[in-house]
Chain A
Amino acid sequence: MKRFLSVILVLILALSLAACGSAGGNESGTGSNEGGNEASDLKIGVILVGDETEGYTKAHMDGIKDAAKELGIADDQIIWKYKIEETDAVTEAGKQLINDGCTYIFSNSYGHQDYMLGLAKENSDIRFVSMTGDTADKNGLSNFSNAFTRVYESRYVSGVVAGLKLQELIDAGKVADKNKDGSGNIRIGYVGAYPYAEVVSGYTAFYLGIKSVVSNVVMDVQYTSSWFDFDKEKAAAELLMNRGCIIIGQHADSAGAPTAVQEAFKNGEVAYSVGYNVSMLDVAPDAALTSASNNWKVYYKDAFEFALKGENIPTNWAEGYDKDAVGITELGASVAEGTQAKVDETIAKIKSGELKVFDTKTFTVGGEEVTEAFATDTDGDWVNDADNVVYDGYYHESEVRSAPAFNLRIDGITELNPND
């Protein structure tokens, strides 16, 4: 009882001290967000799902640090919150960032979004950005935005790299019968995390990139139900290679798939890997062709520039090759001759708008050309029913909202385990 009383007493003491503090508080501290922000008094809060030991978060951290350096934002103007789970821990972290004087707060995981939204509703003077989120276009809050890169563009380019390699293998007679399906189409494989639009958009772009070089290809997709699981990704790649897939692409964050492909390569199999996020050349020096990657610095620099001016951050930011927000990593030694020239040409065409990744003439759904596809779900049943994005001959990806919306299952791609 005594100890309980003492705890209560301490509480009361703390409360009364705090109350005194408020009564006699000085008047110098005013609202933090008045007038334009100088570079020196801007404070930026960052809520991260991981820390520097996790590739996805590290890419964001590097992007933030590089952007801040270029704009003259000092280290102590950025307040970090590491390993914030996708729970109300986001709310706590956000409140503390606000108390610490942050006026712009970023979070990097999709599951942070609802909590960021809750904070945005209650703190209209603070700007929130939920990276990879998808609700900013319809919730009508001026202080809440989403951002995503057009990584599907770089996936398309990485597909072109794979396609050129495949053509070289065909010419050299290295494509065996086991690499073909009944109709003579060459099998390629893809290790995907989940059957979400983000992944579907990515593998479709990769497939179309290969198809722009070699027309008779089919793709199998194996899901791992995890964004990061070395063993599962490795096992998925092995399964795909056993089915005869000759190129293995991926949308999952570990080096599991390239490791499996490198092992197969060492055993004399004909198999090559296209990675994600970072160069896979150190784990698969022979088998890795390249990786599709994001360059988050481009986004953060854009966003911080708005912050320095004290302005709202664009609600739905999505940039790709036009701003160098995406790219492919260093080409491996195994790529086909003339790859670099073709890559440069493809990138130039994407930049100029001449090439559209989701050109409706290049794919069919159920044997038909797509003339209509919706990007927005208005009634919450996870079926998109508004905002037709197919016009002018292509699917307008990431235009209604920054997060990928392409969710069509096109002909030639088979999901092996869509219900896992």
Chain B
Amino acid sequence: MTVRNNGRDPFVHLTKRAPVSALAGLLIRAGAFVFAVLLCAIVVWIMIGVDPITFLKTMFTGSFGIQKLENAKNFTSFWRIFTSSYFWTTFKTGCKLLLLAVALAPAFKMKFWNIGAEGQFLAGAISATYIMFNYPGLNPVVLLILMLTVSLIAGAIWGIVPALFKAKWGTNETLFTLMMNYIAIKIVDFFFNKWRGTKSALGIINIDSEAGWLRSLWKGSESAWFRNEDLIFMVTVLIIAVLMYYYLRLTKHGYEIAVVGDSQNTARYAGISVRKVIIRTMALSGALCGLCGFLCVSSQGHTVNSNLAGGYGFTAIIVAWLSRFNTFTMVGVSLLIVALENGSALMSNTYSDLGFSVAFGKIIVGVMLLFVIGCEFFINYKVVFRARKTQKEAVEA
């Protein structure tokens, strides 16, 4: 704003607030969310004609509902119903988003804007699939370890390349990581087209032999509740989230990342090799995205396509920011976003005839997220109007 101050303040200006207490912050965020939900409920009521109670109920069922649980007679039937419920889907999908956000945390904390999670994920996924597609005859354990290794390496390479260029020549990492996404997407498209042959879709890989599937580890053994690909996937992700929290808070590496993020000059002065930290951290960030790719191929889809990450490589950026790089907060934020998506999906599946289309559902989710992100602004800043301030000053005077 140009300074044309005739002794008067501008009509409106922003001032930074004193930090609010953790509890107050939480209450403000929760309040903003509740307000957003109510607003959306009313909009839906007016535009679609679905009353708020039904809206909230459907949103909740679509995200956390467990259908027909009353039919469970014993643990086996309970487990079967539970693991195929909306609740389970939300937690599983939430974990995928969580792992990508956790992978971004160290890079973002270092103020290295890695927006290449999607590509790093796909690099891991395609290399794991390559092994799975070409060497299905290997021993299941060897095959899975090989898949895991190559996906970690491929993800790390996708992270290291932009880091190297940044460290050596100061290139812009935002553009670089973004472009690396498209390279990965096209590589996946290439193999997808090659492998599907004359069919119009690749389908599931090794559908009969189940080679390279996580479940091949216990193939032939008696079924048990804990032999569940989803469960292993979710537990792995949660463990990584906890480890990352302590890595960033308590280790020397984590401290170096924080210092480099705050000021590279300070870091240099303190004798930290900035290049080394950047490259090491991006290798970690990329490798974790690659790991997510491996897990999604081996334990979820058992196939690959360029939409395997489903845009979560980008959504993870929002998650990481909203959580301020705190991996525990990320658990909640990831779940919230996926829950909103799944809830609105059920809304559109149920009420599309009334006009609640898939696109409308996405608008609703967008509005809710806007409120949640928007309230961060009002937690940090306050809007001051001239008139009010003058009055206040007058009183003070």
Residues of A that sit less than 8 Å from B by CB: 1, 3-4, 7, 14, 18-19, 21-22, 25-26, 29-30, 51-53, 75, 79-83, 85-88, 92, 95-96, 98-101, 109-111, 113-115, 117-118, 194-198, 382, 407
Contacts and interface: CB of A to CB of B under 8 A. Distances in A.
B302 A100 contact: no
Contacts of A117: 207
Contacts of A109: 201
A14 to B, nearest CB: 7
B82 A18 contact: yes
Given A85-B310, A88-B302, A18 B69 contact: yes
B181 interface: no
Closest 10 CB pairs of A and B: A111-B201, A95-B84, A22-B72, A114-B203, A99-B67, A4-B328, A114-B204, A382-B197, A88-B301, A29-B71
Interface string B82-123: 101111010000000000000000000000000000000000
A191 B47 CA distance: 41
A276 to B, nearest CB: 16
Given A18-B82, A98-B84, A110 B201 contact: yes
B85 A99 contact: yes
B63 to A, nearest CB: 12
Contacts of B300: 88
B89 A92 contact: yes
Interface stretch (B255-263, B349-357, B387-395): B349-357
B66 interface: yes
A25 B203 contact: no
A194 B200 CA distance: 8
Interface of B: 64, 66-75, 77-78, 81-82, 84-87, 89, 197-204, 207, 242, 300-303, 305, 307-308, 310, 328-329, 331-332, 335, 348-350, 352-353, 357-359
Contacts of A53: 357, 359
A240 to B, nearest CB: 22
Given A4-B328, A29-B71, A194-B200, A96 B86 contact: yes
A126 to B, nearest CB: 12
Contacts of B348: 51, 82
A47 B71 CA distance: 24
A111 B200 contact: yes
A79 B66 CA distance: 16
Contacts of A118: 204, 207
Contacts of B78: 18-19, 22
19 contacts: A3-B331, A3-B332, A14-B87, A21-B70, A22-B77, A25-B71, A29-B71, A52-B357, A79-B349, A85-B307, A87-B303, A87-B305, A92-B89, A95-B89, A96-B67, A99-B67, A111-B200, A113-B203, A114-B207
A196 B198 contact: yes
Contact of A51 (B68, B71, B350, B357): B357
B198 A195 contact: yes
Contacts of A29: 68, 70-71
A197 B87 CA distance: 41
Nearest to A6: B332
A86 B69 contact: no
B67 A100 contact: yes
B106 to A, nearest CB: 18
Given A3-B329, A99-B68, A109-B201, 5 more contacts: A3-B332, A7-B332, A14-B87, A25-B72, A86-B201
A109 B201 CA distance: 9
A137 to B, nearest CB: 15
Given A18-B66, A100-B67, A52 B200 contact: no
Given A75-B353, A95-B84, A194-B200, A101 B69 contact: no
A81 B198 contact: no
Interface centre among A1, A26, A92, A96 (most CB of B within 10 A): A96
A83 B358 contact: yes
A140 B33 CA distance: 51
Given A1-B328, A96-B89, A382 B84 contact: no
B328 to A, nearest CB: 4
B199 A382 contact: yes
B291 to A, nearest CB: 18
A113 to B, nearest CB: 7
Nearest to A95: B84
B83 to A, nearest CB: 8
Contacts of B353: 75
A407 B328 CA distance: 56
Contact of B199 (A14, A81, A96, A196): A196
A53 B66 CA distance: 30
B197 A81 contact: no
Contacts of A96: 67, 84-86, 89
A91 to B, nearest CB: 9
Contacts of B329: 3
Given A25-B71, A382-B198, A111 B352 contact: no
Nearest to A99: B67
Nearest to A94: B84
A4 B310 CA distance: 26
A420 to B, nearest CB: 10
Given A85-B310, A86-B305, A111 B203 contact: yes
Contacts of B207: 114, 117-118
Contacts of A95: 84, 89
A123 B351 CA distance: 28
Nearest to B242: A4
A37 B214 CA distance: 38
Interface centre among A79, A86, A110 (most CB of B within 10 A): A86
Contacts of B301: 87-88
B308 A110 contact: no
Contacts of B359: 53
Nearest to A117: B207
Contacts of A85: 307, 310
Contacts of B328: 1, 3-4, 7
A178 B126 CA distance: 48
Contacts of B198: 195-197, 382, 407
Contacts of B349: 79-82
A21 B66 CA distance: 11
B84 A99 contact: yes
A79 B61 CA distance: 15
Contacts of B68: 29, 99-101
A25 B70 contact: yes
Nearest to A11: B91
A198 B89 CA distance: 35
Contacts of A407: 198
B207 to A, nearest CB: 6
Contacts of B197: 382
Contacts of B308: 87
A134 to B, nearest CB: 8
Nearest to A198: B200
A367 B68 CA distance: 63
Contacts of A22: 69-70, 72-75, 77-78
Interface centre among A75, A83, A196 (most CB of B within 10 A): A83
